[in-house]
Every structure is written in structure tokens, then in C-alpha cells.
Amino acid sequence: MSREIRYREALREAIAEEMERDPRVFIMGEEVGRYQGAYKVTEGLFDRFGDKRVVDAPIAENGFAGIGVGAAMVGLRPIIEFMTWNFSAVAFDQILSNAAKVRQMSGGQFSCPIVFRGPNGSARQVGSQHSQSMEGFYAHVPGLKVVAPAFPRDAKGLLKAAIRDDNPVCFFESETLYSMKGEVPDPSEGDLLVEIGKANVCHEGSDVTIVSWSRITHVALEAAKLLAAEGISAEIVDLRSLRPLDEETILESVRKTHRAVVAHEGWPYGSVGAEVVDRIQRLGFDDLDAPVLRVTGMDVPMPYNARLEQHCLPQPAAIVSACKKVLYLE
């Protein structure tokens, strides 16, 4: 039996179920406990699990991210919440130099089973320092896994899988998705686990493939509706995992449609989107009937002004236009 719950509730269920299952799991971050979470993801967890396992941290991302890494090395399974991924920049050294390296530096003697999570990307007029899509920085790093679910069901199943993973996992959510509702199986049906590294075709089509993740998958769905009205059938591959990247699902779709557009919110230069394009052209060259195009956030810091902000973000119309270009209709 499925029920409709919000994205933030799906995340909360994942955390609570894993904390219930495994006493090594704890969550630490700013305002995660008594305040009930800056975005209410952890609402109720403090009352249920207490201050040993739902830990309010002061504003010290470098400090508490490092605490998580050290604790993970000696047997705990920390979930470190960043109030937003923008703030992870001051903890970048802990993730890049410690979490992602400790297994290699120790010749495989130690590992780092930790989840770093929080909202990512734009959140309506919060300005340049609070609107960044950070996933590309982390997907670049061997030693890390990176996931960015678009739907409540995937958010829950992937977070549970991330907590159980023996590697560091960077988990990207979105402030603009937290209130979105979706079908999620009832916990009574058993553990909902979504395998890290598997994309999902969330909308089937035959004329063009759109590859996207996180919030932009919903923009792609809007675009698919507009295209359908013009008789164009778009297929959407929702990546869910950015590292590892599910080449096979992407290529299977491209073999069917022969055309691809990659859409994401982050900047274009050296992004995950660029990586996806490389793989499509390299591994699916003979199946392509047009160059692969990208629709990305604009290559500037995010402006505050509401209209300019929307101007910088990928819109359904831009995805429609790119799809028409790869179909040589524009």
C-alpha cells in the first residue's frame, strides 16, 4: 500500500528507520534537534531518539564534518546535515582530504561510512552565496558517492541505502522539493531501499532523451508536457545517482531516441552535465543523430532579483527549445 507523503517526510522516515535499526547511526548538524530542523527534515527525531543521537552542533561545519569523519573511521555511522550545501564549502577539506582519502591513504585499513546531506541549489531569491549547486564539486572526487533524488520515494530509498553504504555519500536535496508530495510505500511493506547508481526513466518517450536530476527533473517533466502538445515524445532519464553514473540506462534511452539533451541547474563549466555529455558521445556516438545539447543554469553568480533569478535558471521553454534543436525543428 502506498501513501502520499512529502519529500521531507520521506527523508525523515529514512533517518528514523535507520536509527531504529542501527544504534551506530546518529545525526549531527545545526538546529537538527531542539529546533526540529531548519527545514523540518528532522522534526520529532530529537524527542524520539534523544540528544545522544540527534546532536545540535554549533556553527562550525569544518569542525563537525571532521567529527563525523573521525567517528565514522572507528565504527559509527554519522549523518552530517549541512543547513545548506553552500555551507559545506567551509568543510570541503574534511570531505575532500579526509573522508574521500582515508581508505586510500590507509591502504584499505580504514573506511568512512558517512552521509553528508542537505538542501542544494536555488531556493527563491536567497542570493548568490545561498543558491549554488554544489554537486559537481563532489562528483569530481574519487572516493565519494553522490546522489540527488527528485521524488519522495527515491529520497527515502536512496537515503536508507546511503546510510548503509560503507563509503562516504554526499546526498543532495532541494529546499524547493521538501514540500513536494509523492507516492511512497508504507513502511509495513518492508525496507524501501533504492540502489545507489541506478537511474530511472520517470517519463517514457521515443523522440528525444532528456537527462536530468533533482529539481530539474520536474522542470523536464513540464517541458515534456509542452513537447507532447506539439507531438514530440520526450523520454526523461532521472539520474538519481551522479556518482556512480548509470551509463547503461542513459545509453539505452539514447539508442531508442537517437537524440539527447542534458538539463541541470548548476553552472555549465566542467559540470556533471558535461560528464554525461562526454559519456553519451563517447559510448553512444553511432546512435546519435544530433550533437548532445545542454540546458544549464547561467554561468554567473545567482542574482537576487526575482526575474533575473528565473532568467538564470533552466526553464521548461529552454528545455523544449533544446529538444527541438536536436530534432532539427528549430
Partner 1 sequence: MFRAPMSEDQDELLRLYGQMQRIRRVEEECARAYAQGKIGGFLHLYIGQESVGVGAIAALRPDDYVIGTYRDHGLAMAKGMPARAVLAELFGKATGCSQGLGGSMHLFDAEHHMLGGYGIVGGHIPLAAGVAYASKYQGNGRVTLCFFGEGSVTIGSFHEALSLAALWKLPIVFICENNEYSMGTPLARSLSLEDVSQKALGYAMARDRFFARDVLEVKARIGEAVTRAREESEPTLVEVRTYRFRGHSMSDPGKYRTPEEIEAQKKLDPLQKARDALVAVLGEEKLAALDAEIEAETADAVKHAEEAPEPSPDILEPTTYVGEFAR
Residues at the contact surface with partner 1, assessed by CB under 8 A: 26, 52, 57-58, 60, 62-76, 93-94, 97-98, 102-111, 113, 142-145, 165-167, 196-197, 243-245
Compare residues 78 and 182 and give the one whose CB is closer to partner 1: 78
CA dist., res. 313 & res. 174, Å (int): 14
Cell of 84: 545548506
CA dist 216 and 210 (Å) reads 10
**Residue 241, C-beta contacts closer than 8 angstroms, at least 6 positions apart:** 145, 146, 147, 148, 158, 196, 197, 198, 199
Tally of CB atoms within 10 A around 138: 25
Among 13, 18, 130, 264, which one carries the catalytic annotation?
130
Pairing mode of beta strands 25-29, 77-81 = parallel
Rg over alpha carbons for the chain, rounded to the nearest Å, is 20
Distance (Å, rounded) from C-alpha 169 to C-alpha 159? 9
Strands 260-263 and 169-173: unpaired
Q: Mark whether 275 is an active-site residue.
A: no
- Distance in Å, CB of 1 to partner 1, minimum: 33
- Residue 162 CB, shortest distance to partner 1, in Å, is 12
Is 130 catalytic? The answer is: yes
The nearest distance, CB 209 to partner 1, in angstroms, is 21
Please report how close the Cβ of residue 29 comes to partner 1 at its closest, in angstroms.
13
66 vs 149 by CB, closer to partner 1: 66
What is the Cα–Cα distance from 312 to 306, expressed in whole angstroms? Answer: 10
User: Of 9, 61, 235, 265, which residue is the catalytic one?
Assistant: 61
Nearest residue (CB) to partner 1, 115 versus 295: 115
DSSP track, 210-272: EEE-THHHHHHHHHHHHHHHTT--EEEEE-SEEES--HHHHHHHHHHHS-EEEE-SS-STT-H
| Choice between 47 and 93, CB closer to partner 1 | 93
Task: State which residue, 53 or 294, has the beta carbon closest to partner 1.
Answer: 53
Active-site amino acid positions? 61, 130
